[in-house]
Structures are given as C-alpha cells and as structure tokens.
Chain A
Amino acid sequence: MSSIFKRIKDKLADYRRPGYYKEFDYHWAIVVDIDRCNGCEACVVACYAENNIPVVGKKGCDDARIFNWIRIEKYIEGEYPDVRVKFIPIMCQQCDRAPCEIGCPVYATYHNQDGLNVQVYNRCVGTFTCATYCPYDVRRFNWFTYKPDKPLDEQLNPDVTVREMGVMEKCTFCIQRIRYAKDAAKDEERRVRDGEIKPACVQSCPTGALTFGDLKDPNSEVSRLARSRRRYRVFEELNADPSVIYLKRVMGNGKRSHD
C-alpha cells in the first residue's frame, strides 16, 4: 500500500518539476563566437541545402517571408567615417524555458529530452502563436506550398521533411544529424562524442565561429567556450534560457580613428 503512495508521490514530484526532465539526455548547444564571425553567410546557404528550405522569390522577400532559418543580422553604428558594423548569426535559440512552447495549443512544439525545442510539422494547425511569442523571430511560416522549379527538387534532402502550406517551421539544430549520431552511438553502446555532430551551419562556417556540442559534458568544446568571460546570451533578461551562447565581439568604441 505504501508503495503505491510512494509511487504517486514520486510521480507527482516528477510532474511538478519545472521543465519535467530531471536532466537532459544531452544538452545540445551552439556557441557563437561573434569575434570570429565575418558575416560571409556560408551558414545560411548550408542551412538551405541541408533543410530543404524553400526559395520565395523577390516578391516573397519583399513581403518579408524569406525562409532563412539562420540569418546574419547586421547592425551599423555611427556615421561616416566612424562606422562600426556588427554581425550576429541568429538561429533558433532552443530555449529551455521557451515562450513558443507554451503558446501552442496542439503540442506541435515541445521540449525533447535533448533540450531541443522540437517542431512537429504534422501536428501544426497554424495558429501563429509560437511565432508571435518567439522573442528571436526565428520561426518561419509556410504561407503557400512552395515548390522548387524542376529539377531543382532533385537536391532535396530526403532526411528532412518538405513542409506544406500552413505549417510553422524553424531551425532544428539539424536534428536529423543528431538522430543519426545518436543511433550510431546507441549501436555501439556509447555516448555521442564531442564534435561528432555538426549541424550544417556549424560544419560550413569558414571562420569557425560556430561550435556545437553537449553542454552537459563539462569537457566538451562548447562547455569550455561557454565558460569564456565573453559569454552572453541575447535578451537574457527575457528569461527564456536560450541554448545558444554568444561570445562578445572585441571591438573598439569607434573613437580610435580620431586620435
């Protein structure tokens, strides 16, 4: 009898724990060293290729419906000649207290055991709530069914779904690659090694600004970088607990040219 009570008590404790998971299986994270990023946008094209991202054309871009799951934001400060330009790659931040996840009425987005914010295309009914709640503006909506001109569809990646009209989508940290690596690791009865998985953007980055890995492993490259004193997270004050960690750009205050 007491065992039943204990079970109920344990279950209740589980269900009352914020975020539910005692700990994540892995805690995937990307560390972006903005001081390395030179804004070349190789990551953007890599993402297009890996994730079957549709092209929306000039009109679509004008309507602000471009599908870049990862974008390089550029901000210019100052006037000529003291111009300072800053770049920052913004992809889904895979927040551990994700505002988008609470918004969805049909569980189309939820948190998985790897600390990833997962989007289930099949469940999505298109209420736009997740995209509205997202402070990072990384969610993209299939306004139409976008089809590439034939035969450009032959390069579509079979590991990734092609989304239909009315569905919300976003960066997945290339979950298909994570999946492959985790399966392989499981076959060999080991954990995924550091550096074994590289999402398309991380893989392509010529300057090595992006690093992907498991934050749970204190010896991983991301954990090492995340301990940097330059560490910060975008809009930390919103308390969304993003998994993308940025390292501050080293930059003069723009007065240097005056001396």
Chain B
Amino acid sequence: MKRRDFIKYLGAGGIGTAMGIFFGKNTKPPGAKLIPYLVPPEEIVPGVGAWYSTLCAQCGAGCGIIVKVMAGRAKKIEGNPLHPVSRGRLCAMGQAAPQGLYNPDRIKGPLKRAGSRGSESFMEVSWEEALRTLAENLAGLKVKGSAEGLYVLAPPLRGHLDALIRDFTATFGSPNYLPYDLFDNRNLAFANAVSMGMESLPHYDIENTRYLVSFGADFSSTWLSPVNLSYGYGQMRQGSPGVRGTLVQVEPRMSLTGANADEWVPARPGTEGLVALAMAHVIVAEGRYRGREARQWRSLLEAFSPVEVAKVSEVEEKRIERLAHEFASTRPSLAIGGDVLSGYTDGVSGLVAVNILNHVAGNIGVKGGVVPNPVDPFFSAPGRDFTRSISTVRDAAESGALKTLLTYNANPLFTTPDNLRLRESLDKVPFMASLSSFMDETTAMADLVLPVHHFLEDWADDFCSPSVGKPVATIMQPAVSPKYNTMGAGDVFLELARRLRHEREKALSGGTEILGEFMDERFSVKDFQEHLKRSWRELHAKDRRLSGGNPTFEGFWNRLLKDGGWWPEGAPMEKGPAVRVKDVAAYMPKGASMFEGEEAKHPFYLMVYPQAGLLDGRGANSPWLQELPDPMTSVVWGSWVEINPATAMKLGIKEGEMVTVESPYGKIDAPAYLYPGIRPDTVAVPIGQGHRSYGRYAKETGANPMDILPSLQDKGSGALSLNSTRVNVSRSPKPGWMVKIEATKKEYGREIVQTVTPEEFERMNKEAT
C-alpha cells in the first residue's frame, strides 16, 4: 500500500457514522473537510471534489473505486489505488457508471403494470402502495401455503446483501434464491470444483508468469477480472526489466487478448481442450511430469497425442509439441481457459483439460501460476449451487410452481437464448416484481417495478471472487444521495420483512398464526445501512484480523469506509491442490465439441462473445459505451458479424453489407465486418446489442445473437452453452448500416506502430546491462 503518489485517505467521523473522503495530498490539512455522507455536500468548497471510496458493481469483478463528487454529483470514477483488485485502475465500463446514475431513462419511481403484460404501459404508484402490493402478494402465498412458489433471481452477489436476500427467501420458506448472470463463470467454477476441489475461483497470476497460454480467455476485455488481469498482463510484458512474458492464445476467433498475443493458434472450434490435452500428453509422455500418478496420467492422456489432435484441431502436430515444450520449460508458466472454451457444449471438459495441463506442468499453487484463493471463514463468496439454473425458473414457470418472481438487477429475458422460451413461460407467472433501475426486457414484463438505487447511491459490500490470493472485502457506500424516488435493494427486503411481520401481527389478531417468521433481529434493523454495520460489527467481534489493528469497532468502521474495504496486507500462498486422475477421468472429452445444425445446411460455426463495454448488454444504455469503438472492429452503435475475408469473398459479401445469420433456431440480420482474425469456417457475433427495451440508447440498436442460439445447458454446471450451433450466412435484403471508426485496417507501411522482434529485444536488454 505504498501509494505515496498523490493521494491519501483522510479520516472523518460523524455523529453515528463516518465516511471516507479522498483528497489530494496537497490540499488543506485533514479535519478541515468533514462531510457527512447523507447530506449532499453542497455546502463544501465549490470546485473542490470530494472522493468517496466504494465498490464498482458494473460487472462481477468487484473492483474498488473512488468517486469524485462535486456539488453532490458524481463526476468521475477512478480505481481505488489501495484496492488489491483494481489497483487504482478501472476499465471502460466501470468509468461509464455515472452514465447509469444520470441516465435519462432511469425509472424515477415505483410503477405498477397498467396494460397487458409486456406492453410497457405502467402507472406511477407510491412506494407505500408498491410495497403493500408486494407484501400482500407474498403474504397471500404464505397463507395459501405455497411459500416455495417465491423465486428470487439476482446476479451472483457475494456480500451481506446476498446473505440478506438468502435469509429473507429462506425465512419466507422458499429455497428458490437463484443467482443468475450470463457470464458468471459457472463452468469454470464447476470445472475447478470437480478437478481441484476448489470452492472459489483461483487467482490466475498473470503478473508473475513468463509463459501464458490462454485457451479462449479474453481477460483484456471481459473475462473474470479484466482490470486486475490487464494489470498483470502489463506487468508480465514489461513489468520487470529484461523479462518479458509470452502470451499464446488458442481460439478460433481472435479476441482482444488474442490480438495482443505473440502467437495466435486458430484451433478448430471445439477442439481447444484437445489441444490443451495434447500439450499435456507431450509433457507427460516426455517424462517432464514429476508429480504423482505419472503412469495413470500417461494412460489417461494416451488418446490425446498431438498426431491425433492435429487431425481434428487443425493445429499442426509440431506446433503443439513446440508449445508444450515451451510451456513446460519456461518457468513459471500458466494456462487459462474461459470465454469461448467454456461456451462449448462440453465447456467443462475443456476447462478441466486446462487444469490438467496446469497440473502436469506443475503450475498449480505456485507464484506465476494458479494461485488458489483461501476459503476464508468470513470473507469468501458463497459456494455455487450448480443444481439449479435459469432453466429451473423456466420449468417452474411452466409447471405453475412459480407463483411470484422477484428479480433484482437481473435481465434473463435478454441474456437467455430465445429458444429457452423464457418469455412465454414467464407470461404464465401470476406475479412478477422487478427491482431494477432501468426498464429492461425483464422489468418490462413485471407487474410491479420497484426502482432501486444505482450502486453509487446504495450500501452493500462484496467479497471478491476471484480474489487475489487473499480475502478482499469491499464496501459499497453512497457517493451521492438518491437522485430519484428509489430505494436501496437491501432496504426493500428489510421493508418487506417488516411488512410481513406486520401482516403476521394482523393475522395473529385474527386468530391464525401462519406468519411466524421475520422476528429475528436481523430483520428488525432500521435500514440496510444499519444491517451492514451490524454485520460488520459481528465480523469485527469474531475476526481478530479485523480487531487487531482497530480495537474499537467505530475506528475500524471508519477505516473501512475510508479505505473502501478490508483486506489483509499479505497472505501466505495456499498449497496448490492436485488434480487427480480419478476426478477428471469422467470429464475427458470424447472429441471435438458438438454443434447444432448440419454442416451442409449450416456451414459455419457461430461464436458469440460479450462485447467489450456492453458485457451481457447491460452497458448498452450508456452513450459513452455505445460510442466506444470496439477494440477489434471499431464499430460503434450497433452489432456486426465477423467473417473471414476469404469466406466473405466466396459468399460475395462486402464489408458493411447486411447479412443474415441463420441457425436452426432462427435468424438475425447484422452488417458484415471482414475480419482476418477469424477462421474461414467460423463467424462471430457479439452479445450486448439488440435490446427491445432498456432505454433510448439501447433500443433497436443492433441484433441479439441470443435469438438464434439453442438452449443447451451443461448438465453438470447448468451454464448455458453459447458456442453450440452452426449457422448459415447469406446476404440480407434488410436495410441497415454499420458505422466503424477505422477507415482501413492496414497501416500502409507508415510505421505508426513500430515493433522490435523478440530477438532484437533480447539484444537490447543485453546491451543495456
């Protein structure tokens, strides 16, 4: 934490609470500017920004951020320099957060459905009425004895809000609290769980590795924790003088990370896992594997010789061998897998294969390899429930078991394949309430819309996962006071609990006792802020790491809010778990992954991937992110289809022309982008555009590839298989235009980006020393 650059935190104590402010080192002395967090700091010195530390909730990475607030308005978001995940940096999406806060299409107060479901016609109601409606509905469920008919859908939350919702649902009598997010790395967690017994995602130590092989993981734009891993990438490349790590990317479509790789290996879609196993085969066969079970590994990997794998993967045998040699001989090395790889129908197998590769190369539990995150008694994300997934909701709705659906910041209608028929199923749900800031597709279907605070206005906390080899807890605190008539998500659940308790009292007076819950003091606090503080007080009392430095809770709490969270200074490296042959044998791939559709009718593999900045579409309502040129194609305000130029020439498609992408499940139209970084037998479409609702900036912009995907799910993990269909591509008569910022892809020999070869670089380093 020796960030003596230009900032430090200033403590601030209030009457019952405290808050962090963040000042330049060179402004007035501490104590001159104490700002109570609930009062909008309009009285403070104009023109001088106050910095509040909080948590970024734009994606699930859990970066600690600082927010510059001037005259009560959030102006700028930067990474929290103390935070071990964000390390003072922040991605495009995180920095665009104020665009959500001040979005013109935010829901300004509670709404009740007025027209038919999905017609987006709502009437404004008071919070009182909205909460009463919901509480009465829930009470009704309870009275009828079908409490398990309540389903709560939320993104994978990890802090005390998660605990609160879990408790609420359980106390109510329903087991159906389902975390859902399209890119929640379910497969990765599952693969790690089955092959290494890891309960939480490990830290991939890119920073210290010297040879990184990524099987489809695009950590530069969206995978896991892009900011943290990008920092690692920068350090790997030029962090220490004279040492430059190598990056090899194995994927059929060159992602942003692939574009930065020293070597791009365009394996046939669905065979990346085989390539990983072939590399492992080489390592084991050549006797480089020094661990246990050498013989068993040898026989397990027997079938995956480079010769055989080269046939299906179209990666030359020699190349696999060379990669394996380099991977095994460069220390430390690391293999990661994700995104494309985990999106295949046998994504888990592929990710297990990557774990095997790491295991046989001895990369697990070492610096610069896979660093396990400790399972902390207090600060770990809850283990995943792989048994239930989004199809559980669909099935429940179909069967009528789903009586009331509560969604919080989840938009499954946009992020699930149309083929899942979720829309039709949800139509059968008697009552839907949505806790959301925006009129997204799912909220548009709701009977009751409860607008929640933007995360810059709300309280919460987060136990980061994947963490960085040590527990990291981040506090989310309001940087600005609520702009609209909204409520915090935690407050809504607490308020519901209070009302249900009240209903119980009414019921008691009527002589029947059916609502005996919510008497617990957890639910009787004033608001979620109190709840949070209470929870942390308990942690402080239990955990000596917390109380060690700050014996009094108030002092600790102030410190917590100042720093934006709590994390230990350092942590000993966990011992790396071993991958056991018996654990993984069941997950060995039988061959290349399966794709829906016949090759004759649908000649191309379809790869879908999250568009940088939009992720699963949640960024689409930010003008900045819409206007941010895609790093690889420079397209703005719309979606596109990536086609290899040779293929396009064969099909007679020119750049910018509209094409129809047709799978066995439907078709979409989008303009073509001729992309040399994609296999000729593959096309790719980004996810994130094509919203039907979600505000003026997102609506009717581009196409959503979810419309043409099959609704395949991994049997083990329950994750949706996104890269699971073949498609046909043809010219489309539909009107449409593509706007890209680049004029040309070529540099015309102008030496704008100058390069040195690795050999020259070596020579330079030698000369320098």
Interface residues of A (CB under 8 A from B): 33-36, 38-42, 44-46, 48-50, 55-58, 61-62, 64, 66, 68, 71-81, 83, 85-88, 148-159, 180-181, 184-185, 187-188, 193, 195-198, 200, 203-209, 229-230, 232, 234-235, 246-253, 256-257, 259
Contact = CB atoms under 8 A, between A and B. Distances in A.
A228 to B, nearest CB: 8
Given A44-B628, A49-B76, A57-B627, 20 more contacts: A38-B256, A39-B632, A45-B625, A46-B90, A48-B624, A49-B96, A62-B737, A66-B627, A74-B742, A74-B745, A80-B676, A80-B677, A85-B632, A87-B260, A88-B752, A206-B230, A234-B752, A248-B756, A250-B237, A251-B755
A75 B631 contact: no
Contacts, number: 278
B266 A80 contact: yes
A168 B102 CA distance: 27
B639 interface: no
B282 to A, nearest CB: 16
B227 A36 contact: no
A103 to B, nearest CB: 22
A151 B484 CA distance: 11
Given A40-B230, A45-B624, A204-B90, A61 B637 contact: yes
Which 4 pairs show the lowest CB-CB distances between chains A and B?
Answer: A207-B234, A184-B26, A206-B230, A85-B259
Contacts of A35: 237-238, 244
Contact of A204 (B89, B238, B318, B737): B89
Contacts of B104: 149-152
A229 B627 contact: no
B637 A40 contact: no
B234 A208 contact: yes
Contacts of A81: 264, 266, 679
Interface of B: 5-6, 24-27, 47, 70-71, 73-79, 88-93, 95-96, 98-99, 101-104, 220-221, 226-227, 230-231, 233-235, 237-239, 244, 254, 256-257, 259-260, 262-266, 318-319, 322, 483, 612-613, 623-629, 631-632, 634, 636-638, 644-646, 676-680, 696, 701, 737, 739, 741-742, 745-747, 752-758, 761, 764, 767-768
B231 A207 contact: yes
Contacts of B77: 49
Contacts of A185: 26
5 contacts: A39-B256, A148-B623, A195-B5, A203-B89, A259-B322
B627 A206 contact: no
Contacts of A184: 24, 26-27
B102 A66 contact: no
A169 to B, nearest CB: 16
Given A87-B753, A154-B102, A250-B755, A80 B644 contact: yes
B634 to A, nearest CB: 7
A257 B265 contact: yes
Contacts of A159: 47
A206 B89 contact: yes
Contacts of A195: 5-6
B746 A208 contact: no
A108 B134 CA distance: 61
A207 B227 CA distance: 8
Nearest to B266: A81
Most-contacted residue by chain B among A40, A73, A87, A159 (CB, 10 A): A40
Nearest to B231: A206
B720 to A, nearest CB: 25
Nearest to A55: B623
Given A66-B636, A76-B676, A80-B679, A36 B319 contact: no
Contact of B221 (A40, A50, A156): A40
Contacts of B318: 259
A68 B629 CA distance: 10
Contact of A38 (B102, B220, B737, B742): B220
Given A35-B237, A58-B636, A76-B746, A44 B92 contact: yes
Nearest to B98: A155
A99 to B, nearest CB: 17
A230 B761 CA distance: 8
B360 to A, nearest CB: 23
Contacts of A198: 5-6
Contacts of B678: 80
